[in-house]
């Protein structure tokens, strides 16, 4: 039977596009755009928008532009442009030659503004920002017209030209659309179209000292680029009448339509560049690409794959109403992807020395280990075994509680790919800490099976002490302690103080010494771990925990701890 290509899920925007195509709107053309403002790094919420916009273009044989919405020179930087491009590319999308900048349209936008002034639909207002706010009215009260609202076309043209020429100071006047000061939608009460900002722009330098506002720029950029479906998040629903007003009152080269979809919200996560930048600048994290950050670059460093992120975006779908997605769905997506792809290896994070008393002192055996039981094509490798090994401290209890089936005095367990061992002796220091175990092994159980058919209840991972190497492993936990970090106002109040734990002296199997940055492994029984791209050195990898495996015992422990507390 031929494999059926999995169809990407439908959504209301696809339905709209299908209808438009059926009606031969835009001559059957579908053109979308992803319009980031280069004022920070992209986050997983942006990934939703990227997958949607580029995905629709792919599916309907259309195009998707990458457009930098760079109209606020105070906050925008070239390094953000570069980071955004890297992230979109990494997610697997190609904008080809279609890289655009709103700032490339500044001349045309200026001409459009002049056109509005000439038709009596825009005026220069000399009220202060504060006065404009007071004049705007409220939801229940209409606004008051500015005393400058009825300036003549000639005077407006003259003043706007002077604004552009730098004759006025920041904030002394603005260009406003002349719409309706009593409009029920406050955004339609003569919105500002241009303001004076005497700041250098990262692309246009000092050519301009007036900059167009989002609502004026966005729709016109869409029209200039021939965008057909301009997709944005729900907060912009109120801006749609203005989007339409601008396009309906100017001679534009094409007539795009705006559609709004629900933004992605995730539990235990902040998705707002304005807030993420505070975490970076105030040092709560080590940078935009800190593996705890929900940024694309943070997720990449953490070990997330583009496939996992794209699958996640498919899974959450595109809806018309806002909701909050459980962050565990994101974790599920990466586990699912890595389960198929990540080679299994053995690593001991908190080592406990085990001496196998009846194993020959100088012997090393190379035991065969399976690289990925999910994928036989990934083959096998040799793992050295010798008399002294390390196991996890957590895998031994001197006084095992009920349901703890791992190693304990007198108990026999399996060492993965190796032998059955039995704990004979526990060596403790003077404070009672367990420092070493003495065990015996059964030579008949090589490979991990007893010829007499006897069973053991646990299989432990291990590394050979002589062959293992020491490495740093960085364990990450959620950055926020609450599902909604903003529930009580300040999200910084619920930053998790234990979101990063650095373990030194972890013991890793020798095959990992050559692992290169970005490579991802499953440490058996522990989780997925990725070689860090910042701290690793040749032959000295540092590992980030991408995500843990679900550990049944840890769950029992947690439940018990909770019970004790209450
Ligand atoms: P932020 O709130 O993080 O600053 P933004 O909307 O200001 O986001 P932009 O760079 O303007 O950031 O966003 C580019 C595109 O990504 C926009 O079309 C925006 O609607 C979309 N986007 C931003 N955040 C999300 C989100 N959480 N879910 C879905 N789409 C998003
Ligand atoms: Mg925005």
CATH code (residue 396): 2.40.240.10
User: In ligand 1, which atom is closest to the CA atom of 53?
Assistant: 18
Burial class (CB in 10 A: 0-12, 13-18, 19+), 85: middle
Task: Give 272's contacts (C-beta < 8 A, 6+ positions apart).
Answer: none
Task: Give 362's contacts (C-beta < 8 A, 6+ positions apart).
Answer: none
335 lines ligand 1 (CB under 6 A): no
- Among residues 461, 478, 496, the one where a domain terminates is 461
Q: How far is CA 207 from CA 169, 184, 199, in A?
A: 16, 37, 10
C-beta atoms surrounding 22 within 10 Å: 9
In a domain, 519, yes or no: no
Q: Are residues 226 and 333 located together in one domain of the fold?
A: no
460 lines ligand 1 (CB under 6 A): no
Is the pTM of the predicted complex or chain greater than 0.85? yes
37 lines ligand 1 (CB under 6 A): yes
In a domain, 26, yes or no: yes
Q: Are residues 329 and 369 located together in one domain of the fold?
A: no
Ligand with minimal distance to 318 CA: 1
Helix (H, G, I), strand (E, B) or coil at 202: coil
Burial class (CB in 10 A: 0-12, 13-18, 19+), 80: buried
Smallest CA separation from ligand 1 atom 16, residue: 46
In a domain, 529, yes or no: no
In a domain, 468, yes or no: no
* Residue 283 to residue 474: CA distance in whole angstroms: 18
C-beta atoms surrounding 435 within 10 Å: 11
Smallest CA separation from ligand 1 atom 2, residue: 272
Q: Are residues 200 and 290 located together in one domain of the fold?
A: no
Domain count, the chain: 3
Tell me the best of 49, 65, 70, 274 to mutate to test the pocket of ligand 1, counting ligand atoms within 8 Å of each CB and taking the most.
49
| 249-284 exposure pattern, b = at least 16 Cβ within 10 A, e = fewer | bbebeebbbbbbbbbbebbbbbbebeebeebbeeeb
pLDDT of the chain, 566 residues: tens digit per residue: 444 555 678 999 999 999 999 999 999 999 999 999 999 999 999 999 999 999 999 999 999 999 999 999 999 999 999 999 999 999 999 999 999 999 999 999 999 999 999 999 999 999 999 999 999 999 999 999 999 999 999 999 999 999 999 999 999 999 999 999 999 999 999 999 999 999 999 999 999 999 999 999 999 999 999 999 999 999 999 999 999 999 999 999 999 999 999 999 999 999 999 999 999 999 999 999 999 999 999 999 999 999 999 999 999 999 999 999 999 999 999 999 999 999 999 999 999 999 999 999 999 999 999 999 999 999 999 999 999 999 999 999 999 999 999 999 999 999 999 999 999 999 999 999 999 999 999 999 999 999 999 999 999 999 999 999 999 999 999 999 999 999 988 999 999 999 999 999 999 999 999 999 999 999 999 999 999 999 999 999 999 999 999 866 666 667 777 777 76
In degrees and rounded to multiples of 5, residue 125 shows phi and psi of -110, 130
Q: Are residues 36 and 50 located together in one domain of the fold?
A: yes
Q: Are residues 334 and 386 located together in one domain of the fold?
A: no
Q: Are residues 242 and 362 located together in one domain of the fold?
A: no
Q: Are residues 222 and 364 located together in one domain of the fold?
A: no
In a domain, 157, yes or no: yes
- Residues identified as active-site: 37, 263, 273
C-beta atoms surrounding 87 within 10 Å: 24
* Residue 417 to residue 382: CA distance in whole angstroms: 10
CATH code (residue 288): 1.10.1160.10
118 lines ligand 1 (CB under 6 A): no
Q: Are residues 297 and 439 located together in one domain of the fold?
A: no
Q: Are residues 197 and 244 located together in one domain of the fold?
A: yes
Two tokens at 447?
């490979």
Tell me the best of 34, 39, 46 to mutate to test the pocket of ligand 1, counting ligand atoms within 8 Å of each CB and taking the most.
46
In a domain, 506, yes or no: no
Q: With contact defined as beta carbons under 8 Å apart, do 524 and 346 qualify?
A: yes
Task: Give 194's contacts (C-beta < 8 A, 6+ positions apart).
Answer: 113, 160, 163, 174, 175, 210, 211, 212, 213, 216
CATH code (residue 90): 3.40.50.620
Q: Are residues 109 and 168 located together in one domain of the fold?
A: yes
250 C-alpha to center of ligand 1: Å? 27
Q: Are residues 251 and 365 located together in one domain of the fold?
A: no
88 lines ligand 1 (CB under 6 A): no
In a domain, 520, yes or no: no
Supply the range of the domain harboring residue 166: 12-261
- Among residues 461, 491, 524, the one where a domain terminates is 461
Q: Are residues 114 and 211 located together in one domain of the fold?
A: yes
183 C-alpha to center of ligand 1: Å? 27
Which of 306, 292, 346, 327 lies closest to 502 in space, CA to CA? 292
In a domain, 485, yes or no: no
274 lines ligand 1 (CB under 6 A): yes
- Among residues 227, 261, 295, the one where a domain terminates is 261
């Amino acid at each position: 039977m031929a494999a059926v290509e999995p169809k990407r899920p439908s959504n209301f925007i696809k339905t709209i596009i299908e209808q438009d195509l059926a009606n031969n709107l835009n001559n059957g053309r579908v053109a979308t755009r992803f319009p980031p403002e280069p004022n920070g790094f992209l986050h997983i919420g942006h990934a939703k928008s990227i997958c949607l916009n580029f995905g629709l273009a792919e599916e309907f044989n259309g195009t998707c532009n990458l457009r930098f919405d760079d109209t606020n020179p105070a906050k925008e930087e070239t390094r953000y442009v570069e980071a955004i491009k890297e992230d979109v590319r990494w997610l697997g999308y190609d904008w080809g030659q279609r890289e655009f900048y709103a700032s490339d349209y500044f001349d045309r936008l200026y001409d459009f503004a002049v056109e509005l002034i000439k038709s009596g639909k825009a005026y220069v207002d000399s009220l202060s920002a504060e006065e404009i706010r007071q004049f705007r009215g409220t939801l229940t009260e209409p606004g008051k017209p500015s005393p400058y609202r009825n300036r003549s076309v000639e005077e407006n043209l003259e003043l706007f030209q002077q604004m552009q020429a730098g004759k006025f100071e920041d904030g002394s006047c603005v260009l406003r659309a002349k719409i309706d000061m009593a409009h029920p939608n406050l955004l339609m009460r003569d919105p500002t179209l241009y303001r004076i900002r005497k700041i250098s722009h990262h692309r246009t330098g000092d050519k301009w000292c007036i900059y167009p506002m989002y609502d004026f720029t966005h729709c016109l950029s869409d029209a200039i680029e021939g965008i057909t479906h301009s997709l944005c998040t729900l907060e912009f629903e109120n801006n749609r009448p203005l989007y339409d007003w601008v396009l309906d009152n100017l001679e534009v080269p094409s007539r795009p339509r705006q559609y709004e979809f629900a933004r992605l919200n995730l539990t235990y996560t902040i998705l707002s560049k304005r807030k993420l930048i505070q975490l970076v600048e105030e040092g709560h994290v080590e940078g935009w690409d800190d593996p705890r950050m929900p940024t694309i670059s943070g997720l990449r460093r953490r070990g997330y794959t583009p496939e996992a992120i794209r699958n996640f975006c498919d899974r959450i779908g595109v809806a018309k109403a806002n909701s909050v997605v459980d962050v565990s769905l994101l974790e599920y997506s990466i586990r699912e992807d890595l389960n198929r792809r990540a080679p299994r290896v053995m690593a001991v994070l908190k080592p406990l020395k085990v001496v196998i008393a009846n194993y020959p002192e100088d012997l090393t055996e190379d035991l065969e280990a399976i690289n990925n039981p999910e994928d036989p094509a990934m083959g096998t490798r040799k793992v050295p075994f010798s008399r002294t090994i390390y196991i996890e401290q957590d895998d031994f209890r001197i006084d095992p509680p009920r349901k703890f089936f791992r190693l304990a005095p007198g108990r026999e367990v399996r060492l993965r790919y190796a032998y059955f061992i039995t704990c004979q002796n526990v060596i403790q220091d003077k404070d009672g800490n367990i420092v070493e175990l003495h065990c015996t092994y059964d030579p008949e159980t090589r490979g991990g099976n007893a010829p007499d058919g006897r069973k053991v209840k646990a299989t432990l991972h291990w590394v050979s002490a002589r062959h293992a190497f020491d490495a740093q492993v960085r364990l990450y936990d959620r950055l926020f302690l609450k599902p909604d970090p903003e529930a009580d106002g300040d999200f910084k109040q619920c930053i998790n103080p234990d979101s990063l734990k650095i373990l030194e002296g972890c013991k890793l199997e020798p095959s990992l010494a050559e692992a290169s940055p970005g490579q991802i492994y499953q440490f058996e029984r522990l989780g997925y771990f990725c070689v860090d791209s910042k701290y690793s050195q040749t032959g000295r990898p540092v590992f980030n925990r991408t995500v843990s495996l679900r550990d049944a015992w840890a769950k029992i422990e947690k439940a018990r701890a909770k019970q004790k507390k209450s």
